[in-house]
């Protein structure tokens, strides 16, 4: 039996490689918090990635234990106070083209175990700066099975 010609194998592998290179989205933010998102099944996709502002919340992860044990907010790459949300939103808005500002959505990426007090505070701040479109980012899955 003649050996199978493997000369085109690198080409095939390179094709796969390019696909994954293009599909890979590197995280913009280094997470300093635990971010185990809750499950939901009535989800909608956030289609325009550049029109999303991310607010993370959760308790500090293993390496940042010195910041305490209760849930904290993370904006960009650092921990933030609830009061800093307003300036964060203003900065995000300023960085976008003016006509796109009304379409901005705030994605709340909050850890499952965070309590609602913090979320309530965030929502109140967002209302103050009139950033009313929000999205509770979740994983897709059944609510009942994963409780």
Partner 1 sequence: MAKRAAPEVNAGSMADIAFLLLIFFLVTTTIETDSGINRKLPPMEESEEDVVIKQKNIFTVLLNGQDQLLVEDEIMELKDLRQAAKEFLDNGGDKSCTYCKGAKDPASSDNPDKAIISLANNRETTYKTYISVQNELVAAYNELRNERAETLYSMSFEQMEADYKDVNWPGNKEKLKVKIDKIKADYPQKLSEVQE
How far is residue 86's CA from residue 32's CA, in Å, rounded to a whole number? 21
Return the sign of the alpha-carbon dihedral for residues 25, 123, 120, 73: positive
CA 131 to CA 106: how far, in whole Å? Answer: 7
Residues 45-84 that bind partner 1 (CB under 8 A): 45-47, 49, 52
Site membership for partner 1, residue 90 (CB under 8 A)? no
- Contact between 101 and partner 1 by CB under 8 A: the answer reads no
- Residue 29 is a binding residue for partner 1 (CB under 8 A): no
CA distance 129 to 86: 6
Contacting positions for partner 1 (CB under 8 A) = 6, 9-10, 13-14, 16-17, 20-21, 23-25, 27, 37-47, 49, 52, 105, 107, 110-117, 119-120, 123, 126-128, 130-140, 143-144, 147
């Amino acid at each position: 039996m003649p050996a199978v010609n493997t000369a085109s194998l690198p080409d095939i592998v390179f094709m796969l490689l390019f696909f994954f290179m293009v599909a890979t989205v590197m995280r913009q933010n280094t997470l300093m918090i635990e971010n185990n998102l809750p499950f939901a099944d009535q989800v909608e996709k956030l289609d325009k990635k550049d029109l999303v502002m991310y607010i993370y919340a959760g308790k500090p992860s293993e390496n940042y234990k010195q910041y305490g044990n209760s849930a904290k907010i993370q904006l960009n790459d650092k921990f933030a106070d609830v009061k800093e949300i307003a300036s964060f939103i203003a900065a995000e808005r300023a960085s976008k083209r003016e006509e796109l500002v009304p379409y901005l959505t705030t994605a709340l990426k909050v850890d499952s175990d965070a309590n609602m007090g913090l979320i309530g505070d965030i929502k109140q701040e967002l209302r103050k700066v009139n950033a009313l479109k929000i999205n509770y980012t979740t994983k897709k899955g059944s609510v009942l099975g994963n409780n």
